[in-house]
Amino acid sequence: MTEETTEAGGAATEEAGAAEKASAEEPGTGKAAAGETAPRRRGRPSRKAAADGPDARTRILEAARTEFAERGYDKTSVRGIAKAAGVDAALVHHYFGTKDGVFAAAVELTFEPALVLPAVLDGPPEGLGERLAAFFLSVWEDPGTRTPLLAILRSAVTHEAAANVLRDFVLRRLLERIAAELDVPDPTLRAELAASHMLGIVMLRYVVRAEPLASADPAEIVAMVAPTLQRYVAGR
C-alpha cells in the first residue's frame, strides 16, 4: 500500500466522522438536532420536572412527612424522599436545598402558622388560654396531623439538627408572633411557658400514653388547663 493510499484513507475517515457529527446537529448551530436528547446539567431538575411546579413540591412534602414518620430523621434521606415522591433527587434539592430544609417545610405544612394565629388570637383576651388549649388539642386529636407531628417530635428528641429546625419554627414562626400580641410583661417567656405546658401534655397523652390522661376527654383537659394557660399568656 502506497503512502498516498494511506493518507487518502485517513482523510476519508476524518470526513466521515465530521459528517456524522454534523448530522446530529442543527445546521449552523452546533445544537442537538430534532430527536436527539441534550445531556442534562448536573444538579438541576429537567424542564419536565420543573414544569410540574407546585404539584411536584406538594408530592415531595407529602412523601417527606411519610418518610420522617416511618423512618425517623436519621434514616430518612433526600434520595428516599425523592423516590417516594416519584421525582429526581435534584428536584428536592432545587426546592428545599437540604434534608433540614425539607424537614422544616414539612413542619410548616403540618402546623401552618396562618391557621394557628387567628384561631388563638381572635376573640376576647379573657378567653385566650381556653382557645390556645382547645386549638392545640384539636390538632393532636386529628389523626391526619397527629401522625406527622409525632414523627417530628420524636425526631426532635433524638436528633439535634431536627431539634434546631423545630425550635426555630416554634419560636420564630409561632411563639414570637403570639407574644407580640400579648400586652403583659415578659411576653416571650410567658408564651414559651404556655407551650412547654402543652408539650408536656402531648408527651404524656400521645407518646407515653399515661393513664388516665391518655383516655381523658379533650374537653375535660381543656377545662382544666385553660386557667393555667390564661395566667401564662394574660397575667391573670
Residue 30 placed within a domain: no
Q: Report the pLDDT value the prediction gives residue 50, as an integer from 0 to 100.
A: 47
Q: Whole domain around residue 150: which residue ranges?
A: 111-234
Q: For residue 168, is pLDDT > 50?
A: yes
Residue 29 placed within a domain: no
Q: What is the CATH number of the domain that holds 178?
A: 1.10.357.10
DSSP code of residue 40? P
Domain boundary among 108, 132, 148: 108
CA pair distance 6, 197, nearest whole angstrom: 90
Q: In terms of domains, do 98 and 152 share one? A: no
Q: Report the pLDDT value the prediction gives residue 114, as an integer from 0 to 100.
A: 66
CA pair distance 163, 148, nearest whole angstrom: 15
In this predicted structure, which of 6-20, 67-81, 135-149, 199-213 has the lowest mean pLDDT?
Answer: 6-20
In this predicted structure, which of 27-31, 93-97, 104-108, 221-225 has the lowest mean pLDDT?
Answer: 27-31
Q: In terms of domains, do 218 and 195 share one? A: yes
pTM of the model: 0.61
DSSP letters of 207-225?
Answer: IS--TTGGGS-HHHHHHHH
Q: In terms of domains, do 61 and 162 share one? A: no
Q: Report the pLDDT value the prediction gives residue 8, as an integer from 0 to 100.
A: 45
Taking the chain, what is the end-to-end CA distance rounded to the nearest angstrom?
A: 108
Band the pLDDT of 180: cuts 50, 70, 90.
Answer: confident
